[in-house]
Amino acid sequence: MARSRTTQQLTEQDLELFQATNFAHVATLSEDGSPHAVVVWVDAADGKVRFNSAEHAVKVKHLRRDPRVAVSVHGQDDPYRAVTVLGSAVMTTEGAEEHIDLLTRKYTDRDRYPAEWRAANEVRVLIEVAPRSILRYGY
């Protein structure tokens, strides 16, 4: 499995993995420094990897304290083709509702993120990661 390390720019092959209906793994750092990993819906735009969360989620709490994050995705059709983006998360509520609806359309047959999936008074957060380092596998 080939592995290379570059900085900054997502390639077309990287974008294919992030824009397909592949699930991603996000790793954040707990207060004691231990890793916390979760599976998320993901996409990419404007050279950044993007995912979405509820404000009350553990990953958001971790990222507010320490924005360092790793986001990895592999191809569903070829799991040996994968990419990991390392960087710092920037979070905003602006555009977060539109983004979760976009991801809902990408990953499900629904047009909007369902109310029954939300917690009471849920606030959505759009999380963007500009690559500081990119690790590629299998291409």
Q: Which of 90, 74, 54, 88 is nearest to 135 (CA)?
A: 74
Distance of CA 66 to the CA centre of its chain: 16
pLDDT at 6 over 50: no
Rounded to whole angstroms, the Cα distance separating 37 from 61 reads 13
pLDDT of residue 62: 98
The class (CATH top level) of 3-137 is mainly beta
Per-chain mean pLDDT for the chain: 94
pLDDT of residue 8: 76
**Is the entire prediction scored with pTM above 0.85?**
yes
* Residue 10 and residue 134 in contact, taking contact as beta carbons nearer than 8 Å: yes
What's the average model confidence in pLDDT over 103-123? 95
